Structure 1
Amino acid sequence: MAEILNLLFNPLPNAIMTVLTGLSLLYWLLTMFLGDGFDFGDANIDIDFDGADIQDIDAPDDLDAEADAQPSFLSKAMDFINIGKAPLMVIVTLFKFIGWMITIASTFVFNLSSYGWKSVFVLLPIFLLTYFLMHYVTIPVVKLYKNVGYLGEEALDFLGRTGRMRSTIQGESVGSAEFIIDKDVIRLNVKSRDGETINYGDDIIVIDETQDKKYYYVTKDINLNNI
């Protein structure tokens, strides 16, 4: 027993991954006993479809212009590991578990104990490897949830919602817009309905969406604040 505990918490990378995996185990135990299912409470990390990126940190306006490309990149990165096609916490737990197993194996292969605290840097390539492995590991998980009818949490209807542009769009270009719903800051990929120019910072309203919800059609919102 002492040898197992020593392996789980020594060296440092093992301890970090053991704690992270343990927190996920604790989450599932609490979920099972409390009967909350996939209710994430106020975690502000629901990501339910390809076109949206929900954030819980308000970035200053002067930084938003530099981050216009970020939602598109994040959307692709999340789609690669099938976030949105299976419950987020399931994918997060799988990520931790796989990373934990690779870290434990690395302890024997690379004799990480001999590197002391510097062994923590091995987590960087391990996380990268885990990320790419997740693409394949989550495929059967997605199929399983699809077979049981899981389509993601679709309670949010964005049609008629008002928000603010975080990029400039015109013609067929696709940009990003920010919406605040239930204290969550949500970014959607949007396109101008009639091709008119909609500038960064303009108030907009969602009037239509594509069938796959990759992006939403918007137009300028005329209100008392911008007349």
Structure 2
Amino acid sequence: MFKKYMIELKNRGILILFSWICVFLSCYNYKNVLFFLMFIDNPSFNTLHTPNFIFTNLTDVLNNYLYLSAFISNQIVLVMLFYHFLIFLKSGLYNKEYALLKSWYFLYVINTCLSILILHFYILPFSWQFFLSFQNETFFISFEGKVNEHLVFYKNLYYLLVFYTQGIFTIFYSLFWGIINFKYIILIRKTMYLLFFLTATILTPPEVCLQLLVGSLQICLYEFLVFVQICKACVCRW
């Protein structure tokens, strides 16, 4: 039986590796399109001058194309990896456990897609507009960024946003299903408020109104789920 499981793991590992290679080659084939979509093809950039990207090392462009292709491939294959892991565990789980894990998986996929949309249509354009506003033609301060710096900037924003949304929605989902102790969540309410504003300060641009807005939205979501949990407890008692 153990040998059978090892063979299945080996086959799934080979399939994931082959999928990563195929996705990587496809991304590299459309590297210019992906780069354009990632940084320039955004409606919020219409009011800005088309940014110019420079490179100071002869191999920078090739390295960044490979880096971009690998970054996108990793995110796509990561979703496939979780799916294969879920299917592998399916035969050893109860129906309730499998349904819970499947709901977690769908929640992860939905949160990732929402994070990408929020990043492209809100956070990234706002960041560009904010930082490019410091250009000063009078003192010859103009924007000429390196290609690799923009890729690193995008990657950091993406990982921060994905980590942030996954963590927040994981807490909310666990609270809704009673995985986390409800009384404990109420006791640490003030601490959660502080964490919400700290994360809003770290993850958003240095704009006080935006930070207050993001922190307040998190608090509203938190209080909404607490209210839902209270209603759920009252209904159960009734």
TM-score in same-fold range (> 0.5): no
Structure number with bigger Rg: 2
TM-score (norm 1): 0.26
Higher strand share: 1
Provide the TM-score with structure 2 as the length reference.
0.25
Question: Which has the larger helix fraction?
Answer: 2
